[in-house]
A and B are shown apart, each in its own frame.
Chain A
Amino acid sequence: MTGSIFESEKIKGDFPLLEREVNGKPIVYLDSAATSQKPIEVIDKMTDYYKQINANVHRGAYHIAELATSEMEETRAKVSRFINASSEKEIVFTKNATEAINLVAYTWARSQLNEGDVILLSSLEHHSNIVPWQQLSSERNIQIRWIPITQDGQLDLSSMDELLADVKLLCVSAVSNALGTINPVKQLTDAAHQVGAICLVDACQSVPHFETDVAELGADFLAFSGHKMCGPTGVGVLWGRLDLLEKMPPFLGGGEMILNVTSDGFTTNEVPWKFEAGTPPIAEIIGLGVAVTYLEKIGMKAIREHEQNLTSYALDLLTDRFGDDLIIYGPEAAVERSGVISFSYRDIHPHDISQVLDQYGVCVRAGHHCCKPLMTLLGVNATARASLYIYNDESDIKVLADAINEAGKIFS
C-alpha cells in the first residue's frame, strides 16, 4: 500500500492545475517526465516577486534591487545544498538543462577536446545530451561511441574496457526519460575517471525524484531543469567542479559575465557569473528556490519511496489487467526504475492511445521522447509514456488502466 506516511491527497491539493477538468473529466496528469506541475507556493512567490521586489540584480544599490539579488543568490545556495555541492559558486543558472549541456560543449569541450578523442554516450540519452556532442564531433573529428543496452533497457557494461579506450568525456543520464532506467552512474564515473575522462551527468530525471549528491555520483558536471522539479520553465542548472569551471572560457558574452570592459577588450567575472551573461531569469530562479524548499519539506527519501511504491503498483496492475497485450519497456522491477512507464498496447499506435486517454482526462506522452537512437535499438517508432510524480496516486493508475481498455475497444 502506498500513502501510509505520504500524504498524497494533501500534496495533490497543493497543485492548483490538478483541480481542473479535461473533456469533462478530472485531470489525471501523467506526464511529469516532460514537465511537472507547480505547487501554489511557487506560483505565489513568483507573482509576489513581480508585485513587490522586481528589480534587476547585481546592479542597483537600492532596497528592492538588493532584495531581488539576495533572493536570487539564496536560491543558488539552496540548490547547492540540495545536490550537496561543495560551494555555491559551482551552481550556474541557465535557461534549462539543454543550455547547461551546451555550455559544457562550447566551453570545456571545445577548449579540451581534439581530433582523435572519444566521447562516450549511453544509448539511453535524450537528444539534448546527444546533439551537442554530434555538433562538436563533426566540427573536430571527434569520435562518438555508444554504451549498448540490454534487452530490458539497462546499460550493458560487459565491455567497458574496450568502450573506454581514448575516452575523454563520458555523458550519461542518471535516469532515462524514455524508459525510467536508473543508471549505475557511480560505477560509470569511477571507470571513466580511471582513464582520465571527465563525466557529465544529465540529471533531469533524477534530481526531481531522488536524493542527489554530486560527490557520491562522482560527476564532474551535472545538468538539470527547474521545470521538472516543481519549478518554473526558463531556469536550469549546471553544476560543475569549481576547478573545472574556473579554467573554462566564458560561454556567452555580455553584461554580468565581465569584471571590466575597455575599448581593447574585457576581463571575465568570477564563477559562476562568468557563465551568466545578461539579465538572468530572476523570477524563475527565485521560483526554483521555493520548489527546492517544497521538495525538501516532503523529503526526497519519502518522494522516492512513494514513487517506487506507486510504480510497483502500476506495473502490477497493468500486467495483471492486460497481460501480453501490453508491453512495458525497460527494467522489470520497480527498484531498478523511476516512475516512468513506457508501454505499447496491442498494435495501437501511441498517438491513438494518448488521444483516447485524453478523452478521459489522462495526460500521457506519445512519441520517441527525444530518444530516437534508443527507439531504433528497441525496434519501435514510438511508445506511450506515463510518468509519475508526488501528486499521483493509485486512483490515477486505475483511471489510466480503464482508459487504455477503452482505446482497445475502439481499435479492436
Chain B
Amino acid sequence: MPGLEDLYKEIILDHYKNPRNQGELSVPPAIMEEGFNPLCGDEVKVYVLTDGNVIKDIRIGVQGCSISQASASMMAESVLNKTLEEAKNLIERFKEMMSAHESNIDSAELSEDNNENSLGDLQALKGVVKYPVRIKCATLGWNTFDQIITPKE
C-alpha cells in the first residue's frame, strides 16, 4: 500500500491484531481510568495495579481504531514491571515524539538507531505524526494511563 506503510507498520498491525495485556483488573486494589476521544467516539479503559513503586500489572480495553489499539497495547507492554518514574519518563518521551513537527520526522528517523533514548518498538508509531488527526488516537491510552499514575492535586 504506497504511502501508508509509515502509518500501518507491521509491528503496529501485529499489536492491533494481537493486542497484549487485554482485559480488566479488579478495582480495588487496581485503579481504573477511562479516556474518550470526543472527535471520533473512541474509548479506552486502563487498569493499573501497583506494588509499591512498581507497575505489577496493567490491562487495557480499547474500542477504537488500529492506531489507538496498537498504541495502548504497546504502551502496556513497555511499562509493565517498570517503576512509576520510569513509566512517567516514557510517557514524556512518547508525547514528545507525538508532538514533533512533521518536517522534523524524516531527520529524526535518521538518528533513530543511535538514539540512546530510543523508544524501541514504540518508534514505529512515529509515522502517526504525519497524519495529524490520528495523533489523538495514538495518545489516547497514554493520556489515560498518565491520569492514573500522576497524583491528582
Please list the residues of chain A having a beta carbon within 8 angstroms of any beta carbon in chain B: 23, 348-352, 355-356, 359, 366-368, 372, 375, 381-382, 406, 409-411
Interfacial chain A residues near B131, Cβ < 8 Å: 355
Contact, CB under 8 Å: A381 / B8: no
Please list the residues of chain B having a beta carbon within 8 angstroms of any beta carbon in chain A: 1-4, 7-8, 13, 16-17, 39-43, 63-67, 131, 134, 137
Give complex CA distance A355, B17 in Å.
18
25 interchain pairs (CB within 8 A)? A23-B3, A348-B66, A350-B40, A350-B65, A351-B40, A351-B42, A351-B67, A351-B137, A352-B67, A355-B4, A355-B7, A356-B1, A356-B4, A359-B1, A366-B40, A367-B40, A368-B40, A368-B41, A372-B41, A375-B41, A381-B42, A381-B43, A382-B40, A382-B41, A409-B1
Give complex CA distance A352, B4 in Å.
11
Contact, CB under 8 Å: A359 / B65: no
Contact, CB under 8 Å: B4 / A381: no
Interfacial chain B residues near A368, Cβ < 8 Å: 40-41
Query: In the complex where A351-B65, A411-B13 touch, is A359 in contact with B39 (Cβ < 8 A)?
Result: no
5 cross-chain pairs, A with B, having the tightest CB-CB distances, nearest first: A351-B65, A349-B65, A381-B41, A368-B41, A367-B40
Contact, CB under 8 Å: A352 / B41: no
Task: Given contact pairs A349-B66, A351-B42, A411-B66, enumerate 20 new A-B contacts (beta carbons under 8 Å).
Answer: A351-B64, A351-B134, A351-B137, A352-B67, A355-B7, A356-B1, A359-B1, A359-B2, A359-B3, A366-B40, A367-B39, A367-B40, A381-B40, A381-B42, A381-B43, A382-B41, A406-B1, A411-B13, A411-B16, A411-B17
Contact, CB under 8 Å: A410 / B1: yes
Interfacial chain A residues near B39, Cβ < 8 Å: 367
Give complex CA distance A382, B68 in Å.
14
Specify the main secondary structure of chain A where it touches its partner: helix
Give complex CA distance A348, B69 in Å.
12
Give complex CA distance A351, B2 in Å.
18
Give complex CA distance A355, B64 in Å.
14
Query: In the complex where A366-B40, A368-B40, A368-B41 touch, is A381 in contact with B7 (Cβ < 8 A)?
Result: no
Contact, CB under 8 Å: A381 / B63: yes
- Selected from B2, B16, B63, B134, the residue in CB contact (under 8 A) with A355 is B134
Contact, CB under 8 Å: B4 / A410: yes
In the complex, what's the smallest C-beta–C-beta distance from A244 to chain B, in angstroms? Answer: 35
In the complex, what's the smallest C-beta–C-beta distance from B149 to chain A, in angstroms? Answer: 26
Interfacial chain A residues near B17, Cβ < 8 Å: 411
Give B43's nearest chain A residue, CB to CB: A381
Give complex CA distance A382, B1 in Å.
24
Give complex CA distance A91, B23 in Å.
55
Contact, CB under 8 Å: A352 / B66: yes
Contact, CB under 8 Å: B4 / A359: yes
Interfacial chain B residues near A352, Cβ < 8 Å: 65-67
Contact, CB under 8 Å: B41 / A410: no
Interfacial chain B residues near A375, Cβ < 8 Å: 41
In the complex, what's the smallest C-beta–C-beta distance from B127 to chain A, in angstroms? Answer: 12
Query: In the complex where A356-B1, A410-B1 touch, is A367 in contact with B41 (Cβ < 8 A)?
Result: yes
Contact, CB under 8 Å: A410 / B134: no
Interfacial chain B residues near A406, Cβ < 8 Å: 1
Interfacial chain B residues near A356, Cβ < 8 Å: 1, 4
In the complex, what's the smallest C-beta–C-beta distance from B113 to chain A, in angstroms? Answer: 27
In the complex, what's the smallest C-beta–C-beta distance from A380 to chain B, in angstroms? Answer: 9
Interfacial chain B residues near A348, Cβ < 8 Å: 66
In the complex, what's the smallest C-beta–C-beta distance from B148 to chain A, in angstroms? Answer: 22
In the complex, what's the smallest C-beta–C-beta distance from A238 to chain B, in angstroms? Answer: 27
Contact, CB under 8 Å: B13 / A410: yes
Interfacial chain A residues near B3, Cβ < 8 Å: 23, 359
Interfacial chain A residues near B65, Cβ < 8 Å: 349-352
Contact, CB under 8 Å: B8 / A410: yes
In the complex, what's the smallest C-beta–C-beta distance from A348 to chain B, in angstroms? Answer: 8
In the complex, what's the smallest C-beta–C-beta distance from B30 to chain A, in angstroms? Answer: 24
